[in-house]
Amino acid sequence: MLAKFIRSLGYAWSGIRFGIRTQRHVRFHLLAASVVSILASFLSLTRMEWAVLLLTFALVIAAELINTAIEQAVDLASPGQHPVAKAAKDAAAGAVLVTAVTAVIIGLLIIGPPLWHIFMK
């Protein structure tokens, strides 16, 4: 049972590595999360604010990985142009956009006020 669980973790890690290796948007979002984390480390954020930021980062990366999985499956099932394939890919990309825009808003709500205070002194 433990071996099966460990094997499952390996498959999940392979999927994450695939996303990082093949998807420039995954790499962009990881870079953005790193920059925000470095910036936030200089601010006096509460544990709850850190938790919200980390959850937000995770949701964006998860959305990107789900989008990648959908794109790969659609490409396999429908190698040519098809309106249903396009709709599936567009909807998955839309989910990433909603998640990313929400992450930016949350980031601004959390780190915006302390930055404003620092730079507007």
Catalytic: which of 64, 68, 99, 107? Answer: 64
Q: Which of 16, 21, 35, 45 is nearest to 117 (CA)?
A: 45
Q: Is 49 annotated as a binding residue?
A: no
Residue 110: Cβ within 10 Å count = 21
Q: Is 121 annotated as a binding residue?
A: no
Q: Is 75 annotated as a binding residue?
A: no
Q: Is 71 annotated as a binding residue?
A: yes
Q: Is 86 annotated as a binding residue?
A: no
49 is catalytic: no
Tell me how far apart the terminal alpha carbons of the chain are, to the nearest angstrom.
58
Detail the residues annotated as belonging to a binding site for substrate: 64
Hey, which residues are catalytic here? Answer: 64
Please enumerate, by residue number, every residue annotated as part of a binding site for ATP: 11, 71, 89-90
- Known binding-site residues equal 11, 64, 71, 89-90
Known binding residues for a divalent metal cation: 71
